[in-house]
A and B are shown apart, each in its own frame.
Chain A
Amino acid sequence: MTSAISLRGVSVSYGETPVVEDLSLEIAEGECFGLVGESGSGKSTLLRAITGLAPDWTGGISLFGQARGKSIDRRFSALCQMVFQDPYGSLHPRQTVDAALSEPLTIHGIAGADTKVPAMMAACGLDPRFRFRLPHQLSGGQRQRVAIARALMLSPRILLLDEPTSALDVSVQAEILNLLKRLRREQKLTYILVTHDLPVVSFLCDRLAVMRQGRVVEVADVAALRANTMTHPYSREMVARSERRV
C-alpha cells in the first residue's frame, strides 16, 4: 500500500546551515503522527518542505505516491494543507475572517462559500460575530481557530498541524482535539502534528518521532509514550520532565 506521506532521505538547509538531515519516514493514510522535540530542531522546517514552502531541500517527498517537485503545486495544495505555528503570520492583516475562509474556495473555483464559511466557523468554535473581524481584533486563540478553519476549507486529505493548540485554553483545546479526532475518523484524514505537549500526542496520535538537531532520534508507538518505555535518553528525559508536572 502506498503511504500517505513518504519522506526518503530528506535534507533541508538555509544557506550554509543544515536544518533537517537525512530524514526518512512513512506515514499511512488515516494515521496521526506526532512530531516532538527540541525547539529549533527543524520540525516546522520539515512541514514547510512537505507543503512546498522550504527553498532548498534534497531527497524524496511524495504524497499518496505522487512525487512533489520543488515548486508550489496546486494539485498538492488541495491535497495537503498546513496550519502554521504563528497564526498572525499566516493570516493577512487586512483580510477579514470571512475573506480568509472564502479565499481558498475562490482560488479552487468551489461554490457555496455563503454556507460553508459559517458552518466551518461553528465547527471550530468561532462565534458568528467574528465573521467580519480582522486578525488584530481577535484574541490569540481565536486567530488560531481561524487558521485551523482555513486549512480545513478545501477538505484536504493531509493536514500538517504546527502547534495547533498551544495558544488555546485547555477547554478550547479539548474542543479542537475532539474535532480533529472526529474528522480523522469520518474522513480518514492523515495528520502530522507538531507539539511540545506530550499528553496531546498521547490523546491524538498513533506514533511519534522525537527530533533533535535536525535528526529523528527515535520513532515509537504512542503506547511506548504512555507506558514510559521509549528508549533514547533524550526521549526519556522529555517524558520524565512532562510526568513530573502532572
Chain B
Amino acid sequence: MSEPLLDVANLRVRFPSPGGPVEVVRGVSFTLGRERLGIVGESGSGKSLTGRSILRLIRPPGIVTADRLRFSDIDLLRAGEWQMRRIRGARISMVMQDPKFSLNPVMTVGEQIGEALAVHKRLPRGQMRRRVLDMLEAVQIRDPERVFGLYPHEVSGGMGQRVMIAMMLIPEPAILIADEPTSALDVSVQGEVLKLMNDLITRKGMGLIFISHDLHLVSQFCDRILVMYRGRIVEECAAGELDRASHPYTRGLIAAVPRIDETREELPVLDRGAWEEAGA
C-alpha cells in the first residue's frame, strides 16, 4: 500500500452529559488505502460516529478531536466548511445507516440521484435521466421508471438502501463510507450491490470503509477488519482470519451468530463483566 487515502490518528468524540463529558470514540487510529476495510463491533461502540467524524458531520454539542485526520493531502480538521461541502458526496461519500431518513423527503429519488450526479458531471436532462435509470437498474431495482418518480417514504427499506447506494456511487468518490449498507437486502440483491462497489474499487481505486454487523459478509467481502468495542479498536485482522481472532469480545461475537441449521435452544450471550474486570 503506497500513500494512504485516509489517515486517522487518535480520533476522539465527546458529548456533554449531566455527569460531565462522555467520550464515545476513544482514540481510534487507522489508515485506509485502495482497499475494503471492514468495521464490526458492538452496537453503540462508535462505528457510525467514526464515519461521521471523517466527514465532519458531528453536530454540536459533540466535540471531535484528533492528532491527525487527513484525506490525501487535505487536513480535514482544518478544512473550512465550504471546502468540506465540496468534499462531501463528491470525493468522500457516506451511505447512512438510516437511509430513508437521510434522503430528502420532498424530492423524488430519481431527482436526488440526478443531483448527486450533477456534482460530478453536468449532463443534458435526457442523458441525466438515462444515467439515473441505469444506476437504479444496476442496484437491482425492478421497474426503475416507476421508482424514479417515488418519494423516499414510498420505497421499501431495502429499496431505500439501494437508492442511497446509487446516489453515493454515481459521483465515483475516492472514498465510500458505507454504514450497514446492505442490512435490508436479500442475499441475491446484496451480492449484486457488492459487485457494484467492488467494481469501483478495482476500476477507479476507490477506498471503502464497510461498517456491518454481518461477520460472514465482512470476512468474505473485505480485505482487513477492525473490531470496535466501547469506543476503541480492540482488534485488527486480515478478513479471512476473523475466525482465528483472539480478543474475547470478538470470540464472543463469533459464537453468537446463529447458523442456518440452528438447533440451539438459546444463543450464547457475552458475559462482558467477566473479561472486562479481568482487564481484557
Residues of A participating in the B interface, judged by any CB pair closer than 8 Å = 14, 17, 36-40, 44-45, 85-89, 137-142, 162-163, 166-175, 177-178, 181, 196-200, 202-203, 213, 225-227, 237-239, 241-243, 245-246
Q: Given the interface contacts A170-B256, A178-B267, A198-B260, does A37 sit within 8 Å of B186 by beta carbon? A: yes
Q: Given the interface contacts A86-B101, A89-B100, A169-B253, does A39 sit within 8 Å of B260 by beta carbon? A: no
Q: Given the interface contacts A169-B40, A181-B266, A241-B187, does A40 sit within 8 Å of B220 by beta carbon? A: no
Q: Nearest Cβ in chain A — how far from B199, in angstroms?
A: 19
Nearest residue, chain A, Cβ from B19 = A129
* B246-271 contact mask (Cβ, 8 Å, vs A): 1 or 0: 00000011001111111111111110
* B21 close to A (CB within 8 Å): no
Contact B256 A86 (CB under 8 A): no
Contact B269 A238 (CB under 8 A): no
Chain A residues within 8 Å of B190, by CB = 196
Contact A167 B180 (CB under 8 A): yes
Q: Nearest Cβ in chain A — how far from B212, in angstroms?
A: 10
Nearest residue, chain B, Cβ from A129 = B17
Among the listed stretches B82-90, B156-164, B167-175, which one makes contact with chain A, having 4 or more residues with CB under 8 Å of it? B156-164
**Bound form: Cα–Cα A242–B191 in Å:** 11
Residues of B participating in the A interface, judged by any CB pair closer than 8 Å = 15, 40-45, 48, 97-98, 100-101, 141-142, 146, 154-160, 162, 180, 183-191, 213, 215-217, 220, 252-253, 256-270
Contact A140 B180 (CB under 8 A): yes
17 A-B residue contacts at CB 8 Å? A39-B186, A137-B15, A140-B97, A162-B157, A167-B180, A169-B213, A171-B252, A174-B256, A177-B258, A199-B259, A200-B258, A203-B262, A226-B261, A242-B260, A245-B187, A246-B216, A246-B260
Contact A226 B186 (CB under 8 A): no
Q: Nearest Cβ in chain A — how far from B63, in angstroms?
A: 15
- 3 interchain residue pairs of minimum CB distance: A141-B43, A39-B158, A174-B267
Contact B261 A171 (CB under 8 A): no
Identify which of A137, A141, A202 contacts B259 (C-beta below 8 A).
A202
Chain A residues within 8 Å of B258, by CB = 174, 177, 197, 199-200, 202-203
Chain B residues within 8 Å of A246, by CB = 216, 259-260
Chain B residues within 8 Å of A140, by CB = 43, 48, 97-98, 180
Q: Given the interface contacts A39-B185, A167-B180, does A178 sit within 8 Å of B42 by beta carbon? A: no
Identify which of B40, B146, B184, B256 contacts A85 (C-beta below 8 A).
B184
Chain B residues within 8 Å of A196, by CB = 158, 183-187, 190
**Bound form: Cα–Cα A169–B270 in Å:** 12
Q: Given the interface contacts A169-B213, A237-B188, A245-B220, does A174 sit within 8 Å of B269 by beta carbon? A: yes
Contact A226 B262 (CB under 8 A): yes
**Bound form: Cα–Cα A99–B185 in Å:** 32
**Bound form: Cα–Cα A168–B42 in Å:** 8
Q: Given the interface contacts A39-B189, A226-B260, does A139 sit within 8 Å of B41 by beta carbon? A: no
**Bound form: Cα–Cα A87–B180 in Å:** 14
Contact A163 B42 (CB under 8 A): no
Chain B residues within 8 Å of A88, by CB = 98, 100-101
Q: Given the interface contacts A177-B267, A178-B267, A203-B262, does A169 sit within 8 Å of B42 by beta carbon? A: yes
Q: Nearest Cβ in chain A — how far from B44, in angstroms?
A: 4
Contact A139 B187 (CB under 8 A): no
Q: Nearest Cβ in chain B — how far from A40, in angstroms?
A: 5
Identify which of B43, B154, B189 contacts A139 (C-beta below 8 A).
B43
Chain A residues within 8 Å of B98, by CB = 86-88, 140
Q: Nearest Cβ in chain B — how far from A122, in angstroms?
A: 14
Chain B residues within 8 Å of A137, by CB = 15
Q: Given the interface contacts A39-B184, A238-B186, does A86 sit within 8 Å of B267 by beta carbon? A: no
Chain B residues within 8 Å of A86, by CB = 98, 100-101, 157, 160
Q: Given the interface contacts A167-B97, A173-B256, A202-B259, does A139 sit within 8 Å of B216 by beta carbon? A: no
Chain B residues within 8 Å of A168, by CB = 43, 213
Contact A39 B220 (CB under 8 A): no
**Bound form: Cα–Cα A37–B158 in Å:** 11
**Bound form: Cα–Cα A95–B258 in Å:** 34
